[in-house]
Structure 1
Amino acid sequence: MTPYRVPLAARLVDSLANQAPHLPDAAVDGDLLDPDVNRAYQALRATAIGAEDLWAHCKSMLDGVYLDGFVIIEAAPLLDLGPEHGPRAATALLTWLATPLNVLDATPLWKPLGTDPEQVTSTGYQPFQIDIVNATRPPDYLAQWCLRPDPRGGGHTLISHLRRAVLRLDDEERRLLTDRAFTHGDFAGLRGVGDEYRPFPVLDGREHRDGFVRFDARILPGMDSREAHTSAARALEREVIAGQRRFLLARGDLIVINQHVCAHGRERLGPDQATVHDDEHRMLHQMFLRARRGSTHTSLGLARR
């Protein structure tokens, strides 16, 4: 077992399987998981054999002093619980780490990330980013659950440690990235992530151990290539790519990413996606999470509920 890859112990799977039919559905109250539901899921953590060990290992990988900023939980046994009980068990497991966050009204906590073979944005390379970069309070964590890998063998998940990338920049590049000189995307309809931040700085001026690196490489094509801020952002992108790690998520792999630490991306899917049957295309489900009061990120003013 590599430190970032964590299998679910058999007794923990048994506990989740036995309790999932009796757990409440993952209803939301405003933008966060309903408190009563959250309490029920937390009670399961207190009684399930192996839950505390899983929690401690995941938190050390996500938030520890020598953190990698991500962890992959081998959660395929939860998929085998079926389309109702499996997602409920996975949601309960994630609540042990942070609180599920719903950023769009009338949408499910688990957002499907399917494959449209006609869309290059769906099948092509996806550059490094943190999600909802243009908000004052982006989600603290991002979870992606692989229901089906790409049958053509593509779509490797990419992870890169942003803070380490920043340390490899020179002083002038870092100074330029603290300027509010960057914009990205639409903000309409979002909730639970603060206000729109436009323009925003990539670096917030904090020490690298605590700072938030507000990076999304998708902003770069629209920037003036002759401008100094563009050059600094391109330099950061090069360092992010230089430090990348790649993983091919297997069926059931549940990756959790600390957005204060890591950016994520994805390599292009395998060839001939148009010949893949609809029910065989790569499919992930995605959920955002908010750090709890008293967590690592509370001191940054980012976890207020």
Structure 2
Amino acid sequence: MFIDIPSELETALIGLPLPTWKLDSSFLTQATMERYRTELTATPRFKETAATLRHALTGEVGGYAVLRLGNLAKALGTDRFLRLATAFAAEVAVPFSPFPRWPLWKDIGVKIDKDPGKSSGIGYNAFHMDLVNATRPPDYTTLLCVRPDPLGGGPSILSDAHAAVARLSENSRALLAETAYHYGTFFDLHGVGEEYKPFPILDGSELEGFVRFTAKMLERSQLSQAHADAARELAEELIRGQVSFMLQPGDYLIVNQRRFLHGREALHSGQETVPVTDRRLLLQLFLRASVGVGSAA
């Protein structure tokens, strides 16, 4: 699931004249996507690299991928590198921001005074899907590593949601398919449908539907004992099947939300001693699959 960029492609990408992107509402415009694709497909070995990426995300055993863009991050300035990362994302689906008040790429830094379990907190960020309570969650969530935790903590964790569900009892799966779960607030969002409350955790087809799960619902939502127990059983199976790795500068993680859930181990203790400008920093971008397509662009 880790994809290295061939050296001849890296060399060509360093000199690629990608323009600044344009948005239609909060979505990358078709014209921008076409321009990016035209520029990229003219470079050596790009088509096979893009095909490898799409297969890693949508193949039978796929669901996530990490593009190793570290050399390009070093060679390009911030603006040019973000254009390139956006262009790679556009080969998968349509980049967009569901948050009108934030830019296309959203900063996820480290705030020591924030809820430790949040994405910008310092504690364990348990398995979840992003925008779990929207009727149309992003099909893909992506994280671009600018800086890892300088103290060595915070590895990413991922788990195959459908494989975890398959290991549950029939009774638990039946409970998870009931419209009995809820979590979070819903306001000032764009491109993700309406608020879904309550919702089923198992939502859609057995292999491609969303597994609408966030472990935070176990502590912060009022659930019946039976529904909570079923969700807790799923949480245990997600942990049982998890993979873990540390993102390095320039690594670009793309997660197919219809297949995998994600999270993060706790950052290393002592974050208060790290200057804000040196703390872990990720940039997040969401992707919407083409109309009528579940897990492929």
| TM-score (norm: length of structure 1) | 0.92
Whichever residue aligns with residue 287 of structure 1, its letter is L
Alignment-derived partner of residue 275 in structure 2? 277
Instruction: Give 1:204 deviation, angstroms.
Output: 2.1
Whichever residue aligns with residue 107 of structure 1, its letter is W
Alignment-derived partner of residue 28 in structure 1? 23
Instruction: Give 1:294 deviation, angstroms.
Output: 6.4
Given that 1:118 and 1:274 are in contact with CA atoms closer than 8 Å, whether structure 2 keeps it comes out as no
Whichever residue aligns with residue 134 of structure 2, its letter is A
3-state SS, counterpart of residue 123 of structure 1: coil
3-state SS, counterpart of residue 203 of structure 2: coil
CA distance in 1, matches of 2:41, 2:57: 21
Aligned-residue Cα RMSD (Å) equals 1.6
The equivalences for 1:1-305 within 5 A come to 4-19=1-16, 22-67=17-62, 69-80=63-74, 81-119=76-114, 120=116, 121=118, 122-204=121-203, 206=205, 208-224=206-222, 227-293=225-291, 295-297=293-295
Instruction: Give 1:48 deviation, angstroms.
Output: 1.6
Cα deviation digits, residues 237-278 of structure 1 (max 9, x gap): 111111111101111111110000000010000111111122
Q: Give the length in aligned residue pairs.
A: 292
Q: 1:18 to 1:294 in 2, by over 3 A?
A: farther
Instruction: Give 1:224 deviation, angstroms.
Output: 4.8
CA distance in 1, matches of 2:8, 2:289: 27
CA distance in 2, matches of 1:92, 1:294: 22
CA distance in 1, matches of 2:287, 2:67: 16
Whichever residue aligns with residue 264 of structure 1, its letter is H
Provide the identity percentage: 37
Structure 1 residues without counterparts, runs of 5 or longer: none
3-state SS, counterpart of residue 103 of structure 1: coil
CA distance in 2, matches of 1:10, 1:213: 38
Instruction: Give 1:213 deviation, angstroms.
Output: 0.8
Instruction: Give 1:24 deviation, angstroms.
Output: 2.1
Instruction: Give 1:14 deviation, angstroms.
Output: 2.2
CA distance in 1, matches of 2:134, 2:293: 20
Q: 1:83 to 1:210 in 2, by over 3 A?
A: closer
3-state SS, counterpart of residue 144 of structure 1: strand
3-state SS, counterpart of residue 36 of structure 1: helix
CA distance in 2, matches of 1:195, 1:226: 25
Whichever residue aligns with residue 88 of structure 2, its letter is L
Whichever residue aligns with residue 181 of structure 1, its letter is A
Instruction: Give 1:295 deviation, angstroms.
Output: 4.3
Instruction: Give 1:31 deviation, angstroms.
Output: 2.6
CA distance in 2, matches of 1:181, 1:187: 17
3-state SS, counterpart of residue 149 of structure 2: coil
- Deviates most, 117-126 or 169-178: 117-126
Instruction: Give 1:11 deviation, angstroms.
Output: 1.9
Cα deviation digits, residues 206-262 of structure 1 (max 9, x gap): 2x2222211111111034576211111111111111111110111111111000000
Given that 1:140 and 1:289 are in contact with CA atoms closer than 8 Å, whether structure 2 keeps it comes out as yes
